[in-house]
């Protein structure tokens, strides 16, 4: 699950350059590259947001020693903050599926048209944009790895209904990354 998003987006980048992306003109190809880059950045941003929410939960647990939704254990204000944070994180995780579906459509466009690109133009596109996409993929991987490390830490601190809400969050993240995993299965 964890590496599926990165692997899928890496694969899509490879299709764009090594297999060549298609189109009847440079504008369409440049547009597909720009859209892929934008989705990479947006996905990285979502993982960053989720990481921020998870870090907030972990940091908020320091006073009570646990992520809790029990007012006697964590206090009324901390419980309200934990609940709000878990709710925001779950809503953000739901957006990953939408991003995965958009990336699937981008893959379909590149698959249909890749035969129309000349090898020379493919090399030119690769030379112009490979470094930026590579750095975006590295950043995505870093955010994704950081999120899963924080989720593991939060899982060890969560108790009771907070653990249940955290599991719901992890399920939403999994549903979102599953949309990216489909790219790997369609190859």
How far is the first Cα of the chain from the last one, in angstroms, to the nearest whole number? 17
Quick check: is 154 in a domain?
A: yes
State how far Cα 69 lies from the chain centre: 27
Which residue segment(s) compose the domain that 18 sits in? 2-176
Q: 90 is written with which tokens?
A: 């779950």
86 in a structural domain? yes
**Do the domain assignments include residue 125?**
yes
pLDDT digit of tens for each residue in the chain (187 aa)?
445 666 556 555 555 544 444 444 456 777 888 898 899 899 999 999 999 999 999 999 988 889 999 988 888 999 999 999 999 999 999 999 999 899 888 888 877 666 777 788 878 888 888 898 899 989 999 999 999 999 999 999 999 999 999 999 999 999 999 988 776 665 4
The answer to the question of residue 187 being in a domain is no
Tracing tokens 């950043």 back to the chain, one arrives at 139
What is the reported pTM?
A: 0.82
What pLDDT, on a 0 to 100 scale, did the predictor assign at position 13?
A: 57
Domains contained in the chain, number: 1
The answer to whether residue 183 is domain-embedded is no
Residue 182 belongs to a domain: no
Residue 58 belongs to some domain of the structure = yes
């Amino acid at each position: 699950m964890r590496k599926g998003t990165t692997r899928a987006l890496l694969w899509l980048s490879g299709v764009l350059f090594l297999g060549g992306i298609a189109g009847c003109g440079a504008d369409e190809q440049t547009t597909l590259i720009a859209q892929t880059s934008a989705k990479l950045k947006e996905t990285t941003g979502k993982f960053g947001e989720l990481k921020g929410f998870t870090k907030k939960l972990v940091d908020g647990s320091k006073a009570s020693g646990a992520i809790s939704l029990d007012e006697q254990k964590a206090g009324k204000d901390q419980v309200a903050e934990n609940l709000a944070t878990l709710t925001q994180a779950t809503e953000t995780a739901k957006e990953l599926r939408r991003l995965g579906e958009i990336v699937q459509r981008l893959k379909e466009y590149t698959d249909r048209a890749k035969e129309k690109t000349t090898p020379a133009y493919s090399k030119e596109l690769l030379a112009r944009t490979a470094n930026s996409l590579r750095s975006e993929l590295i950043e995505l991987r870093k955010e994704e790895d950081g999120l899963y490390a924080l989720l593991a830490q939060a899982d060890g601190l969560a108790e009771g209904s907070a653990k249940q809400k955290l599991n719901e969050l992890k399920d939403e993240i999994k549903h979102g990354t599953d949309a990216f995993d489909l790219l790997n299965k369609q190859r």
